[in-house]
Structure 1
């Protein structure tokens, strides 16, 4: 039976999702989620025009000293980027990046990573929204729907085991419009029962009732969701030099009956295990191999040139 090497150690406290952490992580004292939302409200030309107007006002008030701040800020940004490029300063963008080719495989009840690939039933829930109003984030109802959704996600994470919620990852869908990007959140559940319990929770029902009551006033807001039930053996994920995202950002709770020295977990200790495992060799090396339902022997790549990942990355958990 194939055994896989986990690349991320279990944690005692369930990690919060990127959706929630974006509201607590700050840049210049402002939550990064809010920074991203504000940046998305105007086109590049509008931001340049706004900056030009502010610069004119500063010049009228302070004279030539008004030219100092933009040049100083630009100089700081260039030097900062140069220091990170040379490796003389840590790059915050690569925090938590796993420099390896890794795939998804969930541990069994003993905390062992082995057996058939794609070894768990998964329910994937996509939910998204977009605002078409010319006033952007100040449109009627936009704050209300955002507050409801944030509240539901935070509540679901607190009650993750009750719902069978494994993880949440949020994205902005860019490319269709220069402003007011569509947002999409992907939630992973262990089964449909957990998803339906989440959907019919009182907090979710309150949001439904609010939407239905104000439907005629919210024609400028689009909402949608999709559900995919993925039986074991019929899903896969592969990542290279990536942060934990999507399935890689999920965890499963385990309370082991016996000590597991490989994971550093003692009997009776409750931990949350990541499904991140080395994918440079074995069944996880190819897409067909990661889909155990195909019955592949994972030798599809042997007809190609040397594998660049064979000696790439690390083979230990952090």
Structure 2
């Protein structure tokens, strides 16, 4: 277990922040041949991204959602690197996406997938972590003392430095 911070800290992010949320939902448990490959593809993609220091993936956090929903919040260096990974024919994502679409046509809704991408401009995000191990944006970008960006959320947002 990661050690907790005994002080108030904030994410050391600079500039725009790219947040990519992705997940799946098992709609019919018996449609195993449709949802199991989708479920198994995500760990392979995350492993590939983590091994490649130039991929642009800065950090991730698994999202809960109950026994039939699985998701991941990802923090990216830039939208360009996220889109480059998504379209890379030699990486894990593109073949997994093609295979999922092929299976989805015959699954009649057995499994659902979703994703959301947010490009958050500098000055439009803020964070605070108290007595927490690094998490979320702070785990992706690193941490710094809150005072460097303002003691209150309103100050951190108004500073434009996020």
* Bin for the TM-score computed over the shorter chain: 0.7 to 0.9
> TM-score, normalised on structure 1?
0.46
Kindly tell me: are residues 244 and 232 of structure 1, through their superposed partners in 2, closer, same or farther at Cα, counting changes over 3 Å? same
Normalized against structure 2, the TM-score is what? 0.85
Aligned: 1:227 with 2:134: no
Structure 2: unaligned runs, 5 residues or longer:
none
Match of 1:129 in 2: 24
Structure whose alpha-carbon radius of gyration is higher: 1
Contact 2:59 2:76 (C-alpha < 8 Å) held by counterparts? yes
| Local SS of the residue matching 1:98 | coil
Which position in structure 2 is the counterpart of 1:147? 40
Change (3 A) 1:250 1:126: same
Structure 2 match to 1:97: 4
Q: Which residue of 2 aligns with 1:276?
A: 143
- CA-atom RMSD, angstroms? 2.1
Distance 1:181 1:225 in 2: 16
Alpha-carbon distance in structure 1 between the residues aligned to 2:85 and 2:46 = 10
Task: Assess if the C-alpha contact under 8 Å between 2:24 and 2:39 holds in 1.
Answer: no
**1:126–1:186 CA contact under 8 A, matched in 2:** yes
Inter-CA distance 209–284: structure 2 relative to 1 (3 Å threshold): same
- What's the counterpart of residue 104 of structure 2? 215
Q: Deviations over 1:101-150 (max 9, x none)?
A: 211124xxxxxxxxxxxx32111100011112244xx8222221122111
- Structure 2 match to 1:286: 152
Q: Aligned partners of 2:57 and 2:137: how far apart in 1?
A: 12
The answer to which structure, 1 or 2, has the higher relative contact order (CA under 8 A, 6+ apart) is 2
SS in 2 for 1:285: coil
Q: Which runs of 5+ in 1 are unaligned?
A: 1-91, 107-118, 175-179, 252-274, 296-318
Change (3 A) 1:214 1:282: closer
Whether contact under 8 Å (2:58, 2:77) holds in the other structure is yes
